[in-house]
């Protein structure tokens, strides 16, 4: 296809009024908020081919961010830089369909940069040297070739979206940078252009398998409840010994040469202590496997140089007759147990202490991230002092910043985030984990890059001090490996099994928690926390506010569960299942209509699930020996949530016998029959106290009436 490019016109290079045009020395982040303390002299300038955007990134857990224009073809590079400078700095560069705010967030610009470069490379291959030369026919050709590419549908959507973004900025760009006046591809939706839709929501964030998540959480809680005290003591001793090393004292300018004979006195006292306590000298194995004294560790203990081994003071140790241990063990004792036995066979060594401290920190992350329902980035940005106790309402509260959906009055993203109006409501083990982290290190952030204060951060442009998503994912993998190796060593069977979807990334926790709460409400979390309890805390407490996003996650799992159960109900009705009770007719009507309307329905977002879950047709809730066909206005139980809340559910454990919402299926009646049989045995017990006998007889008569009514209805059909 031949493409005719438009000729330059009078305003080809004229910058529209109201558009600020950068000079080579103009700051790249001229009109973007930046982190406090940013060195302005080191900021990127427009003339640079690589733009460092880190100063405008406020999240402490985010990796380094930059835009590299060097790979863009030369004829289009300068205009690409001008375009992106406007996206970064213009107050209202252009409005995209379904976008919020007047200008794109930094993350949106970064995500779109790669697909935009693909578009420019394609233009360059067709001889285009300015955006203003692009025609509608050329865009049609681009769409045809893009549709034929063997890449994912998501990437195709992203590429056409960036072309639309460029078109949306026509009003602030000179003529040479404007796409044609008519919207690309007639303004059609991406789903219409490609004749497809993106994958349904169910496949985008896979849940963690049930056994995998249970065992991961059990071991994380063991670390916090059973091992933490030992690890904290060993880590504190490790830090103290490290600070006593000669190199560290020199580095801090605090080294004072010991007086003559002082080191010898320390050695004598140390050896006497070893003899009195039955201790051993610190050891290490050399390359040939020989066990020798670890003189570097001796130097830490005595606050002297390891060259002491060559002196007469060193010979006091070698000639003492005190045995040498196979490692440099710390003095901190191991008191924690697992199933009634010490959790490790010997004390923690000097080299092992920081590794166990890192594992403990990771265990705390698993607990906080999973049991709070907070987003991973929100957890990684938590700071010490974030937990408060509301004694009056019996609540543990966790406060912190949120970044997703944090926008100003104009709908623009607030890059520095906002303090949540309502804190997360968490369970006690989360508060315990935060308390452990606050003892583990002195850093303001709970999850810093380095736990040990003496570890220097490697030279990097990144300003953030928190662990990144990638680093915490690696830490979780290391945690799982350690647990499984330790479990095998002890001959245990509670290893953390691999998950079918791969790594246990933190982004999967919220979805998994929502599934557990919906499917396992009475299941125990590590034998101490009940998912039904978490339901109350997360969905009825402050953490249930919709800005947290967790209610949407729960709504999606609730939707899947209800559709699955309704399909079973519909099949049972088709096979002749009888239903009795005051809500029997409503049950049959809802199940039939819901199965007809929603079977095979595909959801594309969590929020859509929340809206659909509120549909009256889906208000069918199965309990033990009864089914609730919920009508909030008639419900006799205490509802979970408010009447107008789409997530409102009945309290199945508080079902009232005279409630007008009750229905009973044949499956419910089987449960009632078992209850009646058990009560009949109790009533026939001649040794039962009279009061108990009368109470159980009254309940038995009530159950028999339910059974008679149900069977009578069967015969009447």
SS (H, E, C) 138-152: HHHHHHHHHHHCCCC
Residue 510: helix, strand or coil by DSSP? helix
- Residue 284 near residue 242 (C-beta atoms within 8 A): no
From the number of C-beta atoms within 10 Å of its C-beta (0-12, 13-18, 19+), residue 537 rates as: buried
Whole-angstrom CA distances from 622 to 302, 460, 518, 650, 664 are 69, 56, 12, 10, 9
Predicted pLDDT at 202? 44
Q: Do both 601 and 482 map to the same domain?
A: no
Closest CA to 627 of 598, 568, 576, 669: 669
Cα 286 to Cα 283: distance, rounded to the nearest angstrom: 10
Backbone phi, then psi, for 618, in 5-degree steps?
Answer: -95, 5
* pTM for the predicted model, two decimal places: 0.68
Distance of alpha carbon 612 from alpha carbon 714, whole angstroms: 34
Structural domain contains residue 229:
no
Residues linked to residue 529 through DSSP beta bridges, in sequence order: 525
Strand partners, 341: 338
Specify whether the CB–CB gap between 420 and 549 falls below 8 A.
no
Residue 6 domain-assigned (yes or no)? no
Output phi, psi for 425, to 5 deg.
Answer: -95, 125
Inside any domain, residue 473: yes
State whether 390 and 278 are in the same domain: no
CB atoms within 10 A of CB 121: 13
Q: How much is the pLDDT for 617?
A: 76
Helix spans in 490-526 (H): 509-519
The two structure tokens encoding residue 530: 């009940």
Q: Residues of the chain whose pLDDT is less than 70?
A: 1-10, 97-101, 196-204, 247-256, 402-418, 454-464, 519-556, 558-559, 599-614, 638-649, 653, 714-717
Q: Are 295 and 308 within 8 A, CB to CB?
A: yes
Calculate the average pLDDT of the chain: 83
DSSP state of 417: -
554 and 541 housed in the same domain: no
- Are 329 and 371 in the same domain? no
238 neighbors 353 (Cβ within 8 angstroms) = yes
| Residue 5 maps to a domain | no
Distance CA 310, CA 543 (A): 63
Say how many residues make up the chain. Answer: 717
The H or E element containing residue 67 is: strand 66-68
| Among candidate residues 342, 361, 385, the one where a domain is terminated | 342
- Which value, to the nearest 10 degrees, does the dihedral of the CA atoms of residues 206, 212, 213, 219 take? -150
Angle between the 228-244 and 352-372 helix axes, to the nearest 10 degrees?
Answer: 140
Query: Is the backbone of residue 127 left (phi > 0), alpha (psi -120 to 50) or beta?
Result: left
Q: Are residues 581 and 703 in the same domain?
A: yes
Give pLDDT, residue 552: 64
User: In this predicted structure, what is the pLDDT of residue 38?
Assistant: 85
Residue 344 CA: distances (Å) to CA of 227, 333, 426: 10, 11, 31
pLDDT score, position 1: 42
- Closest to 455 in 3D by CA, of 524, 553, 362, 357: 357
Angstrom CA distances, 91 to 98, 521, 649, stand at: 18, 48, 45
Q: Are 314 and 308 in contact (CB under 8 A)?
A: yes
What the block records as the tokens of 607 is: 């929020």
Last residue of a domain, one of 317, 342, 367: 342
The pLDDT value given to residue 597: 77
Report which DSSP code applies to 323: P
Q: What is the CATH number of the domain that holds 530?
A: 1.10.443
Q: 366 is written with which tokens?
A: 């698993």
Question: Is there a contact between 590 and 629 (Cβ–Cβ < 8 Å)?
Answer: yes
Q: Are both 557 and 468 inside the same structural domain?
A: no
Of 222, 524, 529, the residue nearest 372 (C-alpha): 529
Alpha helical stretches, state H, 14-105: 74-89
Q: Which of 667, 440, 708 is nearest to 573 (CA)?
A: 667
Vertex 642: Cα angle to 638 and 643 (nearest 5): 90
Identify whether residues 317 and 394 lie together within a single domain: no
- Rounded Cα gap, residues 91 and 104, in angstroms: 10
Place of tokens 């003892």: 439
pLDDT for the residue 511: 79
In terms of residue numbers, what domain contains 321? 239-342
For residue 555, how far is the Cα from the chain centroid?
A: 17
In a domain, 257, yes or no: yes
pLDDT in the model for residue 551: 60
Question: How far is 53 from 65, CA to CA, in rounded Å?
Answer: 5
Domain membership flag for residue 1: no
| Last residue of one domain, picked from the residues 495, 514, 546 | 546
Residues 422 and 536 in one domain: yes
Do 685 and 563 fall into the same domain? yes
Strands (DSSP E) along 75-175, which ranges? none
Do 562 and 513 share a structural domain? no
**Do 330 and 237 form a contact (C-beta atoms < 8 A)?**
yes
Q: Are 354 and 377 in contact (CB under 8 A)?
A: no
My answer on whether 607 and 647 are in the same domain is: yes
**679: in domain:** yes
Looking at the DSSP bridge assignments, the partners of residue 426 are 396
- The structural domain count of the chain equals 4
**206 belongs to a structural domain:** no
Residue whose tokens read 């300068």: 78
Q: Which residue has tokens 């015969």?
A: 715
Clarify whether residues 363 and 500 are in a common domain: yes
């Amino acid at each position: 296809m031949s493409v005719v490019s438009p000729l330059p016109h009078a305003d080809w290079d004229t910058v529209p009024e109201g558009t600020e045009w950068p000079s080579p020395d103009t700051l790249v982040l001229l009109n973007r908020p930046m982190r406090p303390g940013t060195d302005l002299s080191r900021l990127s300038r427009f003339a640079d081919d690589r733009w460092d955007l880190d100063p405008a990134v406020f999240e402490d857990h985010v990796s380094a961010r930059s835009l590299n224009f060097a790979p863009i073809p030369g004829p289009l590079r300068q205009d690409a830089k001008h375009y992106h400078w406007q996206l970064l700095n213009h107050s209202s560069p252009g409005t995209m369909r379904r976008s919020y705010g007047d200008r794109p967030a930094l993350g949106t610009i970064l995500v779109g940069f790669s697909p935009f470069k693909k578009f420019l490379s394609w233009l360059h291959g067709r001889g285009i040297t300015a955006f203003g030369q692009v025609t509608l026919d050329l865009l049609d050709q681009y769409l045809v070739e893009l549709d034929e590419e063997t890449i994912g549908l998501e990437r195709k959507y992203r590429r056409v979206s960036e072309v639309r973004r460029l078109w949306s900025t026509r009003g602030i760009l000179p003529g040479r940078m404007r796409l044609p006046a008519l919207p690309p591809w007639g303004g059609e939706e991406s789903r219409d252009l490609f004749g497809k839709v993106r994958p349904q929501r169910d496949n985008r964030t896979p849940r963690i398998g049930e056994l995998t998540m249970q065992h991961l959480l059990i071991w994380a809680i063991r670390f916090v409840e059973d091992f933490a005290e030992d690890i904290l003591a060993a880590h504190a001793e490790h830090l103290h010994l490290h600070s006593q090393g000669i190199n560290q004292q020199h580095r801090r300018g605090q080294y004072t040469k010991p007086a003559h004979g002082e080191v010898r006195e320390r050695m004598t006292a140390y050896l006497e202590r070893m003899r009195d306590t039955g201790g051993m000298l610190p050891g290490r194995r050399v390359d040939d496997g020989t066990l020798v004294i670890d003189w570097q560790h001796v130097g830490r203990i005595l606050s002297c140089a390891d060259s002491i081994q060559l002196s007469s003071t060193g010979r006091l140790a070698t000639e003492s007759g005190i045995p040498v241990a196979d490692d440099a063990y710390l003095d901190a004792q191991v008191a924690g147990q697992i199933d009634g036995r010490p959790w490790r066979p010997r004390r923690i060594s000097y080299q092992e202490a920081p590794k166990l401290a890192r594992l403990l920190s990771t265990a705390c992350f698993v607990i906080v991230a999973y049991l709070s329902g907070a987003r991973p980035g929100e957890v990684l940005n938590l700071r010490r002092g974030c937990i408060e106790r509301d004694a009056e309402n019996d609540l543990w509260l966790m406060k912190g910043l949120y970044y997703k959906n944090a926008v100003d009055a104009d709908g623009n993203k607030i890059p520095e985030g906002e303090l949540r109006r309502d804190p997360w409501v968490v369970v006690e083990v989360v508060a315990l984990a935060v308390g452990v982290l606050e003892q583990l290190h002195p850093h303001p952030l709970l999850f810093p890059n380095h736990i040990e204060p003496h570890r220097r951060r490697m030279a990097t442009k990144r300003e953030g001090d928190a662990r990144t998503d990638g680093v915490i994912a690696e830490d979780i993998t290391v945690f799982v490996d350690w647990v499984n190796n330790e479990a095998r060593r002890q001959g245990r069977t509670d290893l953390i099994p691999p998950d079918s979807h791969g790594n246990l990334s933190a982004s999967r926790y919220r979805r998994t928690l929502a599934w557990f709460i919906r499917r396992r409400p009475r299941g125990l979390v590590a034998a101490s926390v009940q998912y039904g309890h978490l339901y109350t805390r997360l969905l009825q407490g402050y953490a249930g506010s919709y800005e947290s996003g967790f209610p949407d996650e729960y709504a999606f799992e609730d939707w899947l569960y209800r559709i699955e159960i309704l399909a079973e109900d519909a099949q049972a009705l088709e096979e002749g299942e009888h239903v009795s009770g005051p809500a029997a007719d409503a049950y049959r009507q809802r199940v039939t209509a819901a199965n007809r309307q929603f079977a095979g329905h595909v959801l594309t977002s969590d929020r859509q699930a929340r809206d659909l879950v509120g549909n009256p047709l889906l208000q069918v809730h199965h309990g033990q020996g009864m089914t609730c066909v919920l009508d909030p206005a008639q419900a006799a139980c205490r509802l979970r949530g408010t009447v107008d809340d789409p997530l409102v559910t009945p309290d199945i454990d508080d079902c009232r016998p005279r409630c007008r919402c009750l229905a009973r299926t044949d499956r419910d009646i089987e449960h009632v029959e078992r209850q009646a049989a058990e009560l009949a045995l109790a009533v026939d017990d001649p040794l039962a106290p009279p009061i108990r006998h009368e109470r159980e007889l009254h309940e038995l008569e009530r159950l028999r009436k339910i059974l008679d009514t149900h069977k009578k209805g069967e015969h009447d059909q």
